[in-house]
Structure 1
Amino acid sequence: ALLKRLSNRFVETGLVFYALIAMGVVLSTFWFISINHTVGPFKDMWIAMEFIRSIFEGNGHFLDAFAFHGGAHRLAFPKLLFLVEYGVFKGTNIFLIAVSVVTQCTVLLLFTGMSLKGNFASRRQCFFLFCMAVIFLFNATQLENFIYTFDTQWFLTCGFAVLAIAFFVYYQQGVQRGRGSLASLLLAFTAATLSALSSFSGLCCWLVLLLMALIFRLPARQVFTVLLGCVLFLMAYLNGFFSQPEPEVNPANIPSDFVFNVWEHVIFRYFRWIGLYFGSPLSRENFIAGSIFAYSAIFFLATVLALVVVKRCRLNFFQQFCLGIALFGLGVGLATGLGRLIFVNIADEDRFQTVTLTFWLGVYGLAFSLASAAGKQKWPQYIVTLLILFWSVIVLPRAGYKDALAHTEWFDRVRHGNLALAVGQPEFHAIKWSLILGDKNKRINRPAMHADILKREGWAIFSDPLAGMFGMTISTGSVDADRCVGTIGYSKPLGPGYSGFVVYGRAWDSREAEAVREIILIDDNEMVVGLAKVLRPKGYVGALSLLEQEDARWQGYVNVPMAYSGKIQALGIVSGGQFCKLGKARVLSRPET
């Protein structure tokens, strides 16, 4: 009895620590989101701006949301959310980030609710799975998908798929008991449709529903109903798919012997893709270790399927649910690999993490449930528990922190590039950090194309109060000349066709002992002709108030006429909306031509 009490106390203490770790992961992820948050379009969202502006300018139709994007995706549901983001929330990206968070919370509630129906011996096991799910759903390895709001589609695709599988499990459980609910089936079909209308990957949800109907031996009428729904939706989805123009492919990206060397460039690459994709983020640093996890998980799922199909083993409510979402994640990863063999090294990128972690959520949930039902044999549960702890306590938090370090510098460049747009100087090198790779290579300046509607509607950077100061006149009589330390340190003209400068300097608020976060630059007539923001040091993810004075650097952009030969004065914006002087005014000279 004493040993049992000590064992229970040890388990309870361990669960408390695990819950604290889960809480820390969530809080750190939200912190990383807050410091990396940027406003306005980023990467593919610049392409989506063509649809957004067509609607608001009256040149488009809402049915255009169903058009193919990128050759294969029908992003109808995300595009409708984009309209809400820009029409109501001015392109601040707050709404779309909130949608992603709410979607993950919904998946968490579904997973937790299903685990309570999993016939576990103790609620402590359900709480352990809850903490695991919190870490998997809210860790910072998905930071890019949270901040890069076009990738809200990944959360929606997975979230609706999980919802569809949950409703379908309810339905098939009812059918097996002779009281199947048509409402559950219709809700499953609706969620599967929304998943597919969030990205091409959502089509896998329909295939998983059909597979589950077969392996769990639903009556022929129900199987036919699912098959009919799947076929009809696929036909509707793929309508017009094969009549699209062939996508542009850079021959330099295709190995010269790709077609002829089938083993190296097809089979080997595909196996490598699977290891990188499902082993991520562990596979980023150790491909072998990540691949071992990936292929072990796939072998485990194959074994469970064999036992269910051949041995007719029965799975409980929670186990069927976990198997379904694991198969969905597996299907998406395998299908994505078939389409991206040429780009196999992108398999471990952040954008795929939401699908990968949905896969692992299902795998570990299923494994833990089966191990807990092993009777007196405790070692399977111990092994699965250790694997879950390794993944959720060591692998994901460590990789998430490294992702946060990398993204802080990247989104700092995006944030400062937006300032070039705000001052009317969207020069390519200034704004290229927010473009997709294809636009960078082709030098397609989409921000310049859409600057007019962004400014007219007050969207994106133009919703920022700092941008609203551009063109205003500031009386220098009320400027505090002693509070701040700083200067304009370096400037250089923008590229051909632009009259502006990129400007760097330093700014320190001596009274508050912190960096000055926002700076305006005025000309000889005291008119605001430039905007700037503080730069974060490379590899920095903390609060700006923790910066040292020598690190308090800023970057901005100035828009002045080509003939302007006067001086530029930098003013820091400090607490209370007051201004402080940053050194002496400087002449931003242009090179002689």
Structure 2
Amino acid sequence: MIKSNALKTQNRLDSLATPLALLFLVMALLLCSFTIYMVFAMRWSGPFRDTWEFVAFNEALFQGVLSWQELFAAYGGAHRIVIPKLLFYGDFRFFHANNYLTCSLSLILQALSFCIYSHLLFKEKRITLPLKLALLTAVLFFLFSTTQLYNLLYAMDSQWFISTSCALLAFYFLFSASDIGVSTITICFTLALLAAFSNSTGLFIWPVLLTGCYLRGLSFTKLITLFLLCLCFVFAYTQQLHIEDSPDATIESSAYLFLSNLPATVFNMLRYLGLYLSSPLSRNMPVFGWLLSAFFITYLLRFWMDCIFKKHRPGKTSLIAASLASYVVLAGLATSWGRMYYPNSSIAERFQTIALQFQLAMLLLLVVESKLFSAPRRVFLKTCCVISFPLIMLLPYQIESAKEAATLSNRVYTSHTALVSGVTHIKAARGTLSHPLLINKVNMVQTHYQFLKQEMLGPFNDWPAQLMDQTLSMKTSTGCKGSIFSIERVSEADPYSGYKLKGRAINTQTEQPYKHLLIVDPDKNIIGLGRLDRKQGWLGLLEKQQPEKSTWTGFMPSSKPITKIEIYALNNDKQTSCLIARKQLPS
């Protein structure tokens, strides 16, 4: 009787597994929509951080000078980012450097990855429908987590999306093909080539592909030929690589550094790898995150040993997931080695794209391969287990990451407002320059100001930057209020650094803050711009902020001999403006 009641209870719970999985799938779709909204709401135009270092390359191309040597030149001591450089040029040439190309491409590649995972899951016969839906939920969580917002917004980090997508596609074609012929090998290694020319981590697709070719039964002669070709490419790829901050530091000297203090180096690399693979969980729980990574790597090693030595023949989904996870582990090891020269956090946002792919791949591998999940009983419990994994790993960090992205976006917009206003002092450019550039006091903003302005690129192509240096001829309207809180020099030590202004401007008719402002001299010449600030933690539309607590930040150069300014707010019709305030400049 007790067994009968327990069985009935179990059956009732199992009948709820599919509705539960669908409920969380809807939640994942909402998260996906929110992330996409955030990308386009927080997107900025123009160079940012490392991409400032490629403006000179684009300028040369604009002038008709194509340097193949520069295209394939090493970057960051290890990378040859050919594909991203071409993307940056395409964005500059055809889209005025508005970053829509890189943002859209990154989202499209994530959507492509989702389609591949969906296809694999619904073709998989070893798991039930509720588990398929639960895994699909996990796929959406991992691919469109807001912890990836930094990479989605940052044009430079499109390299991560390209390399991981190429890896997934290469493994998909390798294990989906009916036979391992020349066409399959060509497609797979072409994708690996694209990944390698996006980021040096793409090189680690190659050993995994060779292992996959061996498992698919490729002849020994062809396997050795492929291996030698890969070896030649890696040798050519790594020639003349050096660390920019240490020109004498080469691949050989790095190897010596690795071997000279082997125990400490191995310990640091393994510690780094464990935190790297379990991020963002390892941010707050580093020990638990490291142990989880250790478990995943151990399981992965056992899987490959069973495949190679015990002739275990897993399904297509398992092989693709294991291959992707192995690629990420190898890339993580290389990254941890690189930290000997470039100290950086293992849990940095820029590693999220590749780290989350590892966690997703391991979840798929565990569920599909484990006999516990393939059994038809206790489906509800298994569905809950699968759904809980992405919730534990990612859910606590969603709002935090979204707020960090909003804060970052506001800092970039502030610096770009200074740029289009003609204020190029390094203190005004802090929000857009990378940390190494700031430390070394290399002001790329000042260097490339004329080129960007002349070609109307990046923020110079955004409205109302096009109004700069013109005479205000718009009709004036009423129904606005506001003030100027402060006017101060960008740098007190430099009288020509420009002025930074803070204030508030509200449309009394709509009870919303104004988004764009003009700084005008007594002759009605537009000499500077202002933009509405994003309040700390605000994730909604910029103009929907509480008006009485809103502020704007503006900039104007200090080169012109004027003593008084006026602030005009621009209405949404782009044809009228409203006088907000007049102010005497400090002496």
Normalised by the size of structure 2, how large is the TM-score? 0.91
State the match for 1:287 in structure 2: 286
Task: Look up the match of 1:571.
Answer: 568
Aligned to 2:123, the other structure's residue is in SS state coil
Alignment of structure 1 residues 136-147 onto 2, 5 Å: 136-147=142-153
Q: CA deviation at 1:464?
A: 0.6
Q: How far is 1:6 from its partner?
A: 3.4
Deviation of 1:154 after TM superposition, in Å, equals: 0.5
Partner of 1:254: none
Q: Retained in 2: the 8 A contact 1:279–1:293?
A: yes
Deviation at 1:211, TM superposition (A): 2.6
In the alignment, the residues of structure 1 paired with residue 374 and residue 526 of structure 2 have an alpha-carbon distance, to the nearest angstrom, of: 74
Could you say which residue in structure 2 is the equivalent of 1:204? 204
- Cα gap change, 1:383/1:247 in structure 2, threshold over 3 Å: closer, same or farther? farther
* Deviating more after overlay: 109-118 vs 239-248: 239-248
Amino acid of the residue matched to residue 230 of structure 1? C
1:531 paired residue number: 529
> Counterpart of 2:4?
none
Of residues 502-511 and 228-237 in structure 1, the stretch that sits farther from structure 2 once superposed is: 228-237
CA distance in 2, matches of 1:2, 1:377: 15
Aligned to 2:421: 423
Q: Would you say the 8 A contact 1:272–1:344 is kept in 2?
A: no
Change (3 A) 1:384 1:296: farther
- Quick one: which of 485, 488, 491 aligns to 2:487? 491
AA of the residue aligned to 1:428: I
> Structure 1 residue 90: deviation in Å?
0.4
- Which residue in 1 is equivalent to 2:254? none
Residue equivalent to 1:589: 586
Which residue identity lines up with residue 159 of structure 1 in the other structure? Answer: S
- 2:477 is paired with a residue whose SS is coil
Matched residue, 1:70: 76
Check the 8 A contact 1:414/1:433 in 2, yes or no.
Answer: yes
Assess, with a 3 A threshold, how the Cα gap between structure 1 residues 554 and 525 changes in structure 2: closer, same or farther. Answer: same
Partner of 1:559: 557
Letter in structure 1 aligned against 2:555: Y
TM score, norm. by length of structure 1 = 0.90
C-alpha distance after superposition, 1:448-492 (max 9, x if no partner): 11111111111001111210011121247x3223x1121111011
Do residues 132 (structure 1) and 156 (structure 2) align?
A: no
SS in 1 for 2:77: coil
Count of residues paired in the alignment: 572
**What does residue 123 of structure 2 align with?**
117
- The residue aligned with 2:190 is 190
The one of 54, 69, 93 equivalent to 2:99 is 93
In the alignment, is residue 102 of structure 1 matched against residue 98 of structure 2?
no
Partner SS state of residue 486, structure 1: strand
Give a deviation string over 1:333-361, Cα, whole Å, max 9, x none.
11111111466651000100111011112
Given that residues 472 and 525 in structure 2 are in contact (C-alpha distance below 8 angstroms), is that contact kept between their aligned partners in structure 1? yes
- The range that moved more, 160-169 or 86-95, is 160-169
Greater alpha carbon shift after TM alignment, 388-397 vs 369-378: 369-378
1:252 counterpart residue number: none
Q: Counterpart amino acid of 2:148?
A: Q
Aligned partner of 1:512 among 510, 513, 521 = 510
Pairing 1:23–2:29 present: yes
Deviation at 1:440, TM superposition (A): 0.5
Distance 1:43 1:584, change over 3 A: closer
CA distance in 2, matches of 1:550, 1:374: 56
1:526 and 1:224 mapped to 2: Cα distance? 74
Match of 2:465 in 1: 467
Q: In 1, distance between residues paired with 2:525 and 2:374?
A: 78
Cα displacement string for residues 502-529 of structure 1 (whole angstroms, at most 9, x for unaligned residues):
1110111121121111111111011111
Q: Distance in 2 between matches of 1:218 and 1:551?
A: 67
Structure 2 alignment gaps of length 5 or more: 1-6, 250-256
Structure 1 residues 259 and 2: alpha-carbon distance in aligned structure 2, compared to 1, 3 A threshold: closer
Q: 1:207 to 1:93 in 2, by over 3 A?
A: same
**Superimposed CA distance per residue, residues 310-330 of structure 1 (whole angstroms, 9 cap, x where no aligned partner):** 322111111111111111111
CA deviation vs aligned residue, 1:373-402 (integer Å, no higher than 9, x gap): 7654857x8787555423322432331321
Distance of 1:236 and 1:586 partners within structure 2: 62
Q: How far, CA to CA, are the matches of 2:219 and 2:123 in structure 1?
A: 24
What displacement does 1:104 show?
1.0
Closer, same or farther: CA 332–385 of 1 in aligned 2, 3 Å:
farther
Q: Deviations over 1:20-58 (max 9, x none)?
A: 111111111112212321110001100011211111112
Corresponding residue to 1:162 among 165, 168, 181: 168
Cα 1:232–1:541 change in 2 (3 A) is same
- Equivalent pair of 2:127/2:368 in contact (CA under 8 Å): no
Is contact 2:71–2:82 with CA below 8 Å preserved after alignment? Answer: yes
Cα distance in 2 for residues equivalent to 1:258 and 1:315:
36
- Mean Cα deviation higher: 426-435 or 84-93: 426-435
1:88 is displaced (CA, Å) by 0.3
Residue identity in the other structure for 1:531: L
Shift of 1:64: 2.8
Structure 1 counterpart of 2:17: 11
Rounded Cα–Cα distance in structure 1 between residues aligned with 2:546 and 2:554? 20
Q: Identify the residue that residue 541 of structure 1 maps to in structure 2.
A: 539
Match of 1:501? 499
Contact 1:490 1:504 in 2 (8 A): yes
- Structure 1 residue 196 displacement after superposition: 0.4
Partner Cα separation in structure 2 for residue 213 and residue 395 of structure 1:
33
- Measure how far apart 1:81 and its partner are: 1.2
Distance (Å, rounded) in 1 between the aligned partners of 2:342 and 2:245? 21
Tell me: CA distance 1:563–1:200, structure 2 relative to 1, closer, same or farther (3 Å).
same
Kindly indicate whether the alpha-carbon contact (under 8 Å) linking 1:274 and 1:337 is maintained by their aligned counterparts in 2: yes
Cα distance in structure 1, aligned partners of 2:248 and 2:426:
23
1:41 and 2:47 correspond: yes
Structure 1 segment 284-433 matched on structure 2, within 5 A:
284-341=283-340, 346-371=345-370, 376=375, 385-386=383-384, 388-433=386-431
Contact between 1:273 and 1:345, CA under 8 Å: does it hold in 2?
no
What letter matches 1:229 in structure 2?
L
How many Å separate the matches in 2 of 1:466 and 1:142?
30
- The 8 Å contact of residues 505 and 569 in structure 2, kept in 1 or not, is answered as yes
String of CA shifts for 1:93-151, please: whole Å, max 9, x gaps.
00110110111111111222223333234444333322221211111111111101111
Distance 1:222 1:2, change over 3 A: farther
1:513–1:248 distance in 2 versus 1, CA, 3 Å: farther
Mapped to 1, the partners of 2:394 and 2:329 lie a distance apart of 19
**Aligned partner letter, 1:492:** E
Q: Distance in 1 between matches of 2:244 and 2:430?
A: 29
Asked if the contact 2:506–2:513 (Cα under 8 Å) also holds between the matched residues in 1, the reply is yes
Cα distance in 1 for residues equivalent to 2:198 and 2:188: 15
Distance 1:375 1:93, change over 3 A: closer
Q: Secondary structure at the match of 2:47?
A: coil
